[in-house]
Structure 1
Amino acid sequence: MRAPTGRGPGEHGSAQSVFGTVTLVQGPEALLAQRAVARLLNAARAEHPEVQISELEARAISPADLLEATGGSLFTPYCAVVVHGLPGASVEVGDAIVQFATEPASDVCLILDHPGGAKGRGVVDKLRKRKAHVVPATGPKAWELPSFVIAEARRAGVDMDQHAAQALVDAVGSDLRELAGAVSQLASDWAGTRLTVDMISRYFVGRAETSSFAVSDEVLAGHAGRALERLRWAMSCGVPPVLVTSALASGLRALGKYVDHRSSRMSDVELSRAVGVPPWKLKTLARQARSWDSAAVAAGIIAVARADAEVKGAATDPDFALEKLLLTLDAARMSQHG
């Protein structure tokens, strides 16, 4: 590997230069990791349009390959090197990366992609000790997804409120790539407008209406008949039964936490964090909690766990198991009034 120049990161250009740096993009959320890598590469191109860019797989390279990639070319001394899958690096490659990070060459931007987990932790710890830049690529919590959607909408040039964002999450799910793609499509079709719940419901008809979360919301609200209608429609459209039990488990957990904490002297923000939902959803939980107590929620969680096992193979008819579950949940809800 070439000898370092002795200049620290950015000293050959602005203080914000990406050259002369080693950046570790660490976390399991692939979309955020890819965006972080893209931002760094775009910054490298902006500084030096002639930069040579190389993308390598850690498991498939040797120290010599790394040396060659960071060595520049006949046409430019500047290079940006992305090493994907850092946990797959051999001991020799890991040592070479750590050695480079000790004093990075001032015309190299080295980007390391680590999806998280224990594998490769030794190299990560050594890189941190050598002051490598760390960019987290960890996805938002479930209650933070609407905020992610709103930020995506702003990036795409449209606007939406928390209710519309939650409607999109309910329709599409929690996968960030799918959410980003849905926002992009909406922004393309309704450029410059404010997206509403009705617009999203119309756009995703067949997804929002058959959403497992819609089934959960109806049964927790005490609308057993509507919940059964939603469930039967969802099953006819091919919604996997495990998504329904998952949504019900999530809804009951949030409701149980709300019931446990509602008498505490907490602000809405503190309560939403304790429950694990966005603040605006506390009103929904407050309405649901009028018909549920702790014992009913506990009975519901047990019923959902049993049904989850049934739809995963313990029963011969998953659809019947889910219908029976909705009736059992409604009976649990009514039991506190008995």
Structure 2
Amino acid sequence: MATPARRAPASKARIAIPQLSWRTPQPAPIVLVSGPEEVCAERATAAIRDYLRAEDASLEVTDLRADDYSAGSLLGMTSPSLFGEPRLIRVTGVEKCSDAFLSEAIAYLSMPQEGATVVLRHTGSSVRGKKLLDAIRAGEGGGVEVPCPAVKRDSDRFDFAAGEFTTAGKRIASPALRTLVSAFAGDLTELAAACQQLISDVPGDVTEQIVERYYGGRVETSAFAVADTAIAGRYGEALITLRHALASGADPVPLVAAIASKLRTMARVAGTRESSSALAARLGMKDWQVDRARRDLSGWTDATLGMAIQAAARADAEVKGASRDPVFSVERLVTVIATRVPFGE
């Protein structure tokens, strides 16, 4: 009788390190701040600095570049000083780190210095430093990770802005928040700055009127304002809004992208009978997005919506190089959507 084959020993399970929100990070010997969203990464690093400084005002803060690294720098900066002050070392450029930094950082994980917090910033733009990241994520060095994923979708920007006001203990009306997010749909840094300005300047609750007073010009010429007026069938206003947007430097590509995004949301919601909350959960949207799409569908049919989506696809190709006149392509798209008839009829 054949002897049963022996099972290979099970591989050692990898340790999953804690993953913390960038809004509420905690210091640790190693803090990996990962992901492409620079606004969130800067907030996380600043929050760790403030946390450590609140514990000990004598905190020493030093900055180090992983891509322009001198051998021995990491150990020198983390080593205790004569008076034993806590140390915070902020390391940038880990995604393009030198060989010297990579080898010394990996070695450091086996002997992190007491009283030192090393924040490693890796944008994820390359696989450089993967061996270091894998070691940290496996639990070496007793670290934590603060993910900063890209904020791309409307719902992500809405959550970001809502979090800014919640963190500050400030109330903002939902219409005001939607208006603010629409006004800064293309730049998270500007959206963050706008939120902080309102938080700082406005003594009470933030209303839609206040947002319009601060950022009215920006709101009027935003890509989503163009989309909203066209979808609502306000042809003349849509063209005026579009021309204001183009005159203020708006690019045709994001203008078409904003219109196409709203049309796709309308198509996903059209014909459904589920409650807003159930449909939002199934589609990965917010309740207010479902409600807004349902309002936008007023006066639309399957045929006109399909025609508009086809027009958006054509305009998208044209503004990305298939046409010599991208401005005309956007104007034609707005005309088709606002009048709900093929161009020229």
TM-score normalised by structure 1 residue count: 0.83
Which whole-Å CA distance do the structure 1 matches of 2:282 and 2:154 have between them?
Answer: 13
Which deviates more from structure 2 when the two are superposed, residues 249-258 or residues 83-92?
Answer: 83-92
What's the % identity of the aligned pairs? 33
- The one-letter code of the counterpart of 2:179 is A
Give the conservation status (yes or no) of the 8 Å contact 1:18–1:44: yes
Counterparts in 2 of 1:77 and 1:327: CA distance versus 1, 3 Å: closer
RMSD between superposed Cα atoms in Å: 2.5
TM superposition shift of 1:65: 1.2
Of residues 178, 183, 186, the one that matches 2:198 is 186
- The one-letter code of the counterpart of 1:49 is A
Which deviates more from structure 2 when the two are superposed, residues 173-182 or residues 206-215?
Answer: 173-182
Give the conservation status (yes or no) of the 8 Å contact 2:161–2:177: yes
Which whole-Å CA distance do the structure 1 matches of 2:26 and 2:146 have between them?
Answer: 16
In the alignment, which residue of structure 2 is the partner of 1:123? 132
In the alignment, which residue of structure 2 is the partner of 1:211? 222
1:240 aligned onto 2:251 = yes
TM superposition shift of 1:314: 3.7
Which whole-Å CA distance do the structure 2 matches of 1:66 and 1:214 have between them?
Answer: 50
Q: Helix, strand or coil: the match of 1:60?
A: coil
Which whole-Å CA distance do the structure 1 matches of 2:31 and 2:260 have between them?
Answer: 39
Query: CA offsets, 1:36-91, max 9 Å, x none?
Result: 11122222223333232211010111441112111233343532211112112223
TM superposition shift of 1:330: 4.2
Counterparts in 2 of 1:91 and 1:294: CA distance versus 1, 3 Å: farther
In the alignment, which residue of structure 2 is the partner of 1:172? 184
Counterparts in 2 of 1:114 and 1:294: CA distance versus 1, 3 Å: farther
Give the conservation status (yes or no) of the 8 Å contact 2:276–2:291: no
1:146 aligned onto 2:158 = yes
Which whole-Å CA distance do the structure 2 matches of 1:234 and 1:248 have between them?
Answer: 14
In the alignment, which residue of structure 2 is the partner of 1:54? 62
TM superposition shift of 1:114: 0.9
TM superposition shift of 1:155: 4.2
TM superposition shift of 1:102: 2.7
- The one-letter code of the counterpart of 1:90 is S
Give the conservation status (yes or no) of the 8 Å contact 1:17–1:47: no
1:1-338 aligned at under 5 Å gives the runs: 18=27, 21-76=29-84, 78-119=86-127, 120-129=129-138, 130=140, 131-140=142-151, 141-156=153-168, 158-190=170-202, 192-259=203-270, 262-263=272-273, 265=274, 267-330=275-338, 333=340
Q: Helix, strand or coil: the match of 2:292?
A: helix
Q: Helix, strand or coil: the match of 2:109?
A: helix
- The one-letter code of the counterpart of 2:34 is Q
Which deviates more from structure 2 when the two are superposed, residues 135-144 or residues 246-255?
Answer: 135-144
TM superposition shift of 1:125: 0.9
Q: Helix, strand or coil: the match of 2:30?
A: strand
Give the conservation status (yes or no) of the 8 Å contact 1:157–1:187: no
TM-score normalised by structure 2 residue count: 0.81
Which whole-Å CA distance do the structure 1 matches of 2:68 and 2:180 have between them?
Answer: 40
Query: CA offsets, 1:131-176, max 9 Å, x none?
Result: 5211111244421322322332344454212211110011122432
In the alignment, which residue of structure 1 is the partner of 2:22? none
Which whole-Å CA distance do the structure 2 matches of 1:115 and 1:317 have between them?
Answer: 36
Looking at secondary structure, tell me which structure has more helix per residue.
Answer: 1
Which whole-Å CA distance do the structure 2 matches of 1:218 and 1:95 have between them?
Answer: 57
Q: Helix, strand or coil: the match of 2:121?
A: strand
> Unpaired segments of 5 or more residues in structure 1?
1-15
Which whole-Å CA distance do the structure 1 matches of 2:75 and 2:147 have between them?
Answer: 26
Give the conservation status (yes or no) of the 8 Å contact 2:172–2:205: yes
- The one-letter code of the counterpart of 2:239 is L
Q: Helix, strand or coil: the match of 1:310?
A: helix
Aligned length: 314
Which whole-Å CA distance do the structure 1 matches of 2:220 and 2:184 have between them?
Answer: 11
Which whole-Å CA distance do the structure 2 matches of 1:247 and 1:235 have between them?
Answer: 14
Which whole-Å CA distance do the structure 2 matches of 1:64 and 1:154 have between them?
Answer: 43
TM superposition shift of 1:180: 1.7
Give the conservation status (yes or no) of the 8 Å contact 1:25–1:33: yes
- The one-letter code of the counterpart of 1:144 is D
TM superposition shift of 1:23: 1.0
Which whole-Å CA distance do the structure 2 matches of 1:112 and 1:292 have between them?
Answer: 51
Query: CA offsets, 1:96-130, max 9 Å, x none?
Result: 21222234222211111111244222221111112
Give the conservation status (yes or no) of the 8 Å contact 1:245–1:304: yes
> Unpaired segments of 5 or more residues in structure 2?
1-24
- The one-letter code of the counterpart of 2:144 is H
Give the conservation status (yes or no) of the 8 Å contact 2:238–2:338: no
- The one-letter code of the counterpart of 1:25 is V
Which whole-Å CA distance do the structure 1 matches of 2:155 and 2:278 have between them?
Answer: 13
Which whole-Å CA distance do the structure 2 matches of 1:224 and 1:274 have between them?
Answer: 33
Which whole-Å CA distance do the structure 1 matches of 2:76 and 2:278 have between them?
Answer: 53
